[in-house]
């Protein structure tokens, strides 16, 4: 039996249905572990206005015609983007979809002139944190931290792009 990733494709957010899938996928994992916060509502309610229009991108992972994952990159300062709102549907985790999403996001950030990507996560999301580490993200030192809009953010990482 072929792996699920054999037909997974990554594409830019292209429709209201994609935006709805972005919201639903992220709300599912956030509410499973945490509470939705104002910053979540901002991004999830309008990914085009809060991610794409400021110069970032949102990607969706499709298996056939179903969106099974998503991720975004948002510019924060010149040359720096933040990786935001990665989600993979529970039944599709562990098959490489998150890896494909991160790779697409990093490639686009490079194309957009980024020299660094930052992210925030939570230690409870160990598989995601390990995946970020596998891509070379390093944990920020205490003296590098900046205030987060997220109460749940207890993991802060960065990756220098080459």
pLDDT tens for 125-149 read: 999 999 999 999 999 999 999 999 9
Whether 2 has a pLDDT exceeding 70, the answer reads no
What are the sequence ranges of the domains in the chain? Answer: 4-114
Q: 39: left (phi > 0), else alpha (psi -120 to 50), else beta?
A: alpha
> What is the value of pTM for the model shown?
0.93
Distance CA 104, CA 41 (A): 24
Q: Check residue 27 and give its pLDDT.
A: 97
- Architecture of the structural domain at 4-114: 3-Layer(aba) Sandwich (3.40)
Distance CA 81, CA 35 (A): 25
Confidence at 162, pLDDT banded by 50, 70, 90: confident
Distance CA 11, CA 61 (A): 7
Q: Check residue 5 and give its pLDDT.
A: 43
- The two tokens of residue 115 are 């020299």
């Amino acid at each position: 039996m072929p792996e699920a990733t054999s037909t997974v494709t990554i594409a830019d957010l292209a429709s209201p249905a994609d935006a709805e899938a972005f919201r639903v996928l992220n709300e599912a994992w956030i509410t499973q572990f945490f509470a939705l916060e104002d910053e979540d509502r901002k991004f999830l309610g309008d990914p085009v206005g809060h991610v794409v229009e400021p110069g970032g991108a949102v990607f969706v992972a499709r298996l056939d015609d179903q969106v099974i994952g998503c991720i975004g990159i948002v510019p924060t300062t010149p040359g720096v983007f933040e990786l935001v709102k990665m989600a993979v549907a529970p039944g599709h985790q562990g098959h490489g979809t998150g890896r494909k999403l991160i790779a697409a996001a990093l490639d686009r950030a490079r194309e957009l002139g980024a020299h660094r990507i930052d992210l925030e996560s939570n230690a409870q999301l160990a598989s995601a944190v390990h995946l970020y580490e596998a891509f070379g993200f390093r944990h920020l030192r205490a003296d590098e931290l900046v205030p987060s809009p997220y109460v749940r953010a207890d993991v802060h990482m960065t990756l220098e792009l080459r």
